[in-house]
Structures are given as structure tokens and as C-alpha cells.
């Protein structure tokens, strides 16, 4: 089969409902909720007052509920923070992870498979098609790639998906995310980065025209004050294993950090790493090394090779 279905049940899902759900979230999230519909999902972030990302998310409208899809382990933190402020609105939150399953579809026949399952397929990134307790939406990628969120009560659709064969090997899926510059917040890096460091200001997570939201003042100031000192870049190494614990060094000093990594078919480790823009622009040598800088350890190291990311247009 020229389409691979991946089990993406490494997620948390928070539902926000009520007469003022949209208005409430508009004042909390970095995306513009006025653009949300059953046919259009949104990318967004929830930042703390210092402008650091508590969680990234995809926002969907399914029936009467606004769904916030985030990485596994982030749901409780996201809901706890939202609930601090929702008491002043006619809205409520609920944890819905256990009531849904999530799958990824990719490969040459991905669009054909989506049409067979849903009767049609979303055409552009973020576009969605919703049916009974299920939603399929397209991801940004040169080759068609989709995610499906389906309620556990829609047993017929789940059975059809399962009959096609589902893999829990996510190496290819993670690699596709890296090649698109997609990085998600998980508990280990919660509130560690500003949106700018993760290129969220370039990938549609931030709407700079929507008005106020939590952390907006700092996020906007960083956006308008000038060029970023550090950003997310894609790179690779070969001949040495890379992980998020690996060191990135320039002239023996730590200059960056790896936020995601995956092994390619060619045996190279591809990664998304936060690096100084000045070093990248100067084409300076940056080495990857495993182990600690302390104790004078002589550990193997290799130079990383920078790779391209899709063209990103900065939101205005």
C-alpha cells in the first residue's frame, strides 16, 4: 500500500465549550479564533505572562466544541492554566483525550485514502473536513500528509482505518515533521522557549493583528524590535548518534540545543536545533558532541550540516 497510517495516540485533547468559549480563547491564545471554522483549523500557542510557550496546539471546531490538540502530557497544564481565568466566562473546559483516537496518513496514496474514508480530502494546509465525531485536516508538506481525529464512538470509521493497517513506528512521521520545521512542546520543555525561538512567529502560530492575549505584549515586542538573535534551524549529522541531550559546540563552547531528532533512511540523524543566527549566517563550524563538557572527557564529535526548511513568511 502506497499510504502509511500511523498511530498518533501520543496526544492530549482539551475541549472548551459554552456561549463564550470563542471569546474566552480569543483573549488567551495567540491565534485568531475568528478564523476558526469546521472547515479551517488553526495553529496556536498558549504563553505565560513572560511570553514563553506553555503549549503549542492545533485548534479545531468539531460540533459545538472547540478542541485544543496538544502533545501528550500537556493537557493537564493547559487546562489548569485556562481554568484560572475561565471562571469569569460562560464557558468550561473538559479533558477529552480518552474519547478520541488520532492517526496520521502519508505517502503517495494518502489523498486517495482520505477520499475513500471521508468522501473528499482537504486541499490546503490547515483545511479540515468534519463528519460524525471525526475530523481530517491537512498538514503543511510538499507531499500530502493528513491527521485524523476520530471519536471512539465512531466505531465504523475506526474499524475501516484499522483494517488498512496501522503502524506505531513514528520515525518516518517524526522525520517528516522535522523536515517541515514542526516542533511541539512537551513537558520537558514547557515554558522554556519564546515563540520566536521555535519559529512560531513564522509558521502561523501567532496572529499579530488579533489584539491582546496572554503574553502578547512581550511576544509582539520581540517581533517588532528587530532581527532574532536565535532561531530554529534544521541540520543533520552522520557517523554519530544524535539526541536532544547532545551538545552543539562552537570553538568548544555550547551555542545551541536540539529540540527534536529522527533517523533518516540514509543513516543520518536529522534534527531541529536552536542556534545563533549570526553563526549560521557566517557559516561557522558547529560540532555535535555526546557527553559532558566537564571533566576533560575526550568524546567523539562531528560537524553538523545545515539543511533547508520550507520557505517561511513572517506574519505581519
Q: How confident is the model at residue 314 (pLDDT cuts 50, 70, 90)?
A: very low
pLDDT score at 316? 29
* Shared-domain flag, residues 155 and 247: no
pLDDT band at 291 (very low <50, low <70, confident <90, very high): confident
What pLDDT was estimated at residue 310?
Answer: 87
- Please indicate, yes or no, if residue 297 is contained in any of the structural domains: yes
Specify whether 128 is located in the same domain as 24: yes
In a domain, 277, yes or no: yes
* The pLDDT of residue 203 is above 80: yes
Say what the pLDDT of residue 293 is: 67
**pLDDT higher than 80, residue 251:** yes
How confident is the model at residue 306, as a pLDDT? 96
Percentages helix, strand, coil for the chain (3-state, rounded to 5) are 25, 35, 45
Asked whether residue 217 is assigned to any structural domain, the reply reads: no
Let me know whether 156 and 262 are in one domain. no
Residue 248 clears pLDDT 60, i.e. is over it: yes
**Which pTM does this prediction carry?**
0.94
Tens digits of per-residue pLDDT, 36-49?
999 999 999 999 99
Residue 162 and residue 15 in one domain? yes
104 and 248 share one domain: no
Q: How far apart are CA 172 and CA 219, in angstroms?
A: 33
Is residue 227 very low, low, confident or very high in pLDDT (cuts 50, 70, 90)? Answer: confident
What is the mean pLDDT of the segment spanning 159-182?
96
Count of other CB atoms within 10 angstroms of residue 268: 17
80 within domain boundaries: yes
Question: Sorting pLDDT into bands at 50, 70 and 90, what band is 222?
Answer: confident
pLDDT digits (tens, 9 = 90+) for 54-75: 999 999 999 999 999 999 999 9
Domain end (from 121, 147, 179): 179
Beta bridge partners of 14: 68, 95
Which CATH number characterizes residue 46's domain? 3.30.1360.120
Distance (Å) of CA 209 to CA 52, 77, 144, 212, 216 = 19, 27, 30, 9, 11
- The rounded mean pLDDT for the chain is 93
Q: What is the CATH number of the domain that holds 234?
A: 2.40.30.110
**Structural domain of residue 264, as residue ranges?**
227-316
139 has pLDDT over 90: yes
Question: Looking at residue 289, what is its pLDDT?
Answer: 93
| Beta strands, E only, 199-252 | 230-237, 247-250
Indicate if the pLDDT at residue 147 is higher than 60: yes
Mean of the pLDDT values across residues 77-86? 94
Distance between CA atoms of residues 49 and 51, nearest Å: 5
Rounded mean pLDDT of 102-128? 97
Residue 216 forms part of a structural domain: no
Q: Is the pLDDT of residue 234 over 90?
A: yes
- Number of domains within the chain: 2
Amino acid at each position: 500500500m502506497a499510504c502509511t497510517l500511523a498511530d498518533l495516540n501520543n496526544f492530549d485533547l482539551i475541549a472548551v465549550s459554552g456561549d463564550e468559549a470563542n471569546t474566552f480563547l480569543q483573549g488567551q491564545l495567540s491565534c485568531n479564533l475568528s478564523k476558526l471554522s469546521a472547515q479551517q483549523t488553526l495553529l496556536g500557542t498558549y504563553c505565560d505572562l513572560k511570553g514563553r510557550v506553555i503549549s503549542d496546539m492545533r485548534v479545531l471546531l468539531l460540533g459545538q466544541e472547540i478542541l485544543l490538540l496538544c502533545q501528550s502530557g500537556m493537557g493537564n497544564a493547559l487546562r489548569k492554566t485556562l481554568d484560572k481565568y475561565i471562571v469569569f466566562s460562560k464557558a468550561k473546559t473538559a479533558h477529552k483525550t480518552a474519547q478520541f483516537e488520532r492517526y496520521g496518513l502519508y505517502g503517495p496514496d494518502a489523498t486517495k485514502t482520505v477520499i475513500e474514508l471521508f468522501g473528499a480530502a482537504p486541499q490546503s494546509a490547515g483545511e479540515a473536513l468534519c463528519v460524525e465525531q471525526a475530523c481530517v485536516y491537512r498538514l503543511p508538506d510538499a507531499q500530502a500528509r493528513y491527521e485524523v481525529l476520530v471519536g471512539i464512538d465512531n466505531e465504523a470509521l475506526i474499524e475501516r482505518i484499522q483494517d488498512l493497517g496501522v503502524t506505531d513506528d513514528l520515525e518516518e512521521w517524526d522525520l517528516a515533521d522535522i523536515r517541515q520545521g514542526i516542533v511541539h512542546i512537551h513537558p520537558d520543555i514547557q515554558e522554556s522557549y519564546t515563540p520566536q525561538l521555535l519559529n512560531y512567529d513564522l509558521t502561523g502560530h501567532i496572529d499579530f493583528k488579533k489584539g491582546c492575549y496572554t503574553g502578547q505584549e512581550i511576544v509582539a515586542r520581540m517581533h517588532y524590535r528587530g532581527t532574532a538573535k536565535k532561531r530554529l534551524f534544521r541540520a543533520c549529522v552522520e557517523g554519530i548518534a544524535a539526541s536532544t541531550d547532545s551538545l552543539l559546540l562552537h570553538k568548544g563552547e555550547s551555542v545551541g540545543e536540539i529540540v527534536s531528532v529522527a533517523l533518516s533512511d540514509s543513516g543520518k540523524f536529522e534534527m531541529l536545533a536552536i542556534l545563533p543566527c549570526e553563526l549560521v549566517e557566517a557559516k561557522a563550524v558547529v560540532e555535535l558532541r555526546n557527553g559532558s563538557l566537564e571533566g576533560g572527557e575526550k568524546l567523539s564529535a562531528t560537524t553538523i550540516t545545515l539543511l533547508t526548511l520550507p520557505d517561511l513568511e513572517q506574519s505581519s
